[in-house]
Every structure is written in C-alpha cells, then in structure tokens.
Amino acid sequence: MLTDKRCPWGSSTDLLMQDYHDHEWGKLNLDEHYLYEMLVLESFQSGLNWAIILHKRENFRRAFKNFIPKEVAQMTEADIANLMTDSSIVRNRQKITAAIKNAQALLMLDAKYGSFAHYLQSFIKTPIVHHPQTFEDVPTTNSIAQKMAKQMKKDGFSFVGPVTLYSFLEAVGLINDHLESCPFKYHG
C-alpha cells in the first residue's frame, strides 16, 4: 500500500514552505488583494528561490501597502528610492517598478472586466487539475500561460513571462499541480 507523500518541494524541513504548500498552493483563491500579492511575489521570485521570497513575504506586504493595488498604483519615484534601500525585501528596481506598474494595469482591468479575477477567468474558466505522478511531470509553463503573458504585456503588465505566470496560476489555484500521491491535492 502506498502512503501519501507531499510534493517534494513541500516536504521541506522549512515549516513556512510546508505551510504554504499545504494550505495555499493549488487552493483556489480569487480575492483581489491575494491575486495581486501573488503576482508581485511570483514576479520577485523570478531568478530566485521561492523560499527566499516566502520568508520575506511580510516585508513585501509592508513595503507594498498590504498589496492593495489602489495604494501601490500611487507610489512615486521617492517610494521606489526608499524601497531600494530596504534590505528586508529584494532590492531590484525593475521588479519594484513592475509591481507599481502592474497595480496600475490591474486597476485598468478592474474597470474593464469588473475584477482581476474575471480577467483571469477569461483565460481559465474553471481550475485546471493535473495531479501528475512525479515532480518531473510538472510543467513550468503551458499554452495558456504563454497566451496570458502576451495579452498581459499588451495590457500594461511587466515581469509576467509565461513561466512566472504559470507559477502564479499554480499559486492562486487556477492550476493545481499537486502530485497524485500528495494528501493536499484536493482543497475543498
């Protein structure tokens, strides 16, 4: 008899990573602030280890005004300069600027679609559930993320490549890639 095992990355001894794996990743959450938070965090993760970002999450939350898009969209060049001196976050000017630009783009989509969630659901109507057998079977992108990346760039977003967007879709539960053996593959 096979015993259930977490996805390999969620089996970390890092309790924050375990908690994120068990209670957030792959679980559908279309709350506007959460969607923006995960978009920011996934954008900052690009080129880095997710654990680094996860451990700085509260600092990012403080730096980016509790991930309230309307407030972040109003951040100025002075705010960017201040964040560039904040060692508690990842100090990357392009990513900081992208977080502000993405808040502005998100607000434009809110006006057009009613919410960022509705915009995302124009690409994925219902969550996609894979439950691959092995970690090697988990893709890093797909045609939907590629299509979204092109459209989101047209809609004014930046740092939203297909790999980043695929990770974002997994994070917010629009794609569920928990392994078949993972006890956290189903979220009610």
Statement: the pTM of the whole predicted model exceeds 0.75: yes
Catalytic residue among 24, 32, 34, 50: 50
List all residues 6 or more positions away from 186 whose beta carbon is below 8 Å from its beta carbon.
Answer: none
3-state secondary structure of 128: strand
- pLDDT in the model for residue 1: 33
Query: Is 20 among the residues known to form the active site?
Result: yes
- Contact (Cβ atoms closer than 8 angstroms) between residue 127 and residue 117: no
| Among candidate residues 81, 100, 101, the one with its CA nearest the CA of residue 91 | 81
- pLDDT in the model for residue 57: 98
**Rg of the Cα trace of the chain?**
17
- pLDDT in the model for residue 5: 87
List all residues 6 or more positions away from 184 whose beta carbon is below 8 Å from its beta carbon.
Answer: 6, 7, 10, 21, 22, 26, 178
Ordered structural domains, the chain, with CATH: 15-176 (1.10.340.30)
Mean pLDDT by 10 residues, the chain (188 residues): 74 94 96 98 95 98 98 98 98 98 97 96 95 91 98 98 98 95 80
Query: Is 58 among the residues known to form the active site?
Result: no
Catalytic residue among 20, 25, 36, 166: 20
- pLDDT in the model for residue 3: 52
Catalytic residue among 37, 42, 166, 170: 42
3-state secondary structure of 135: helix
Query: Is 34 among the residues known to form the active site?
Result: no
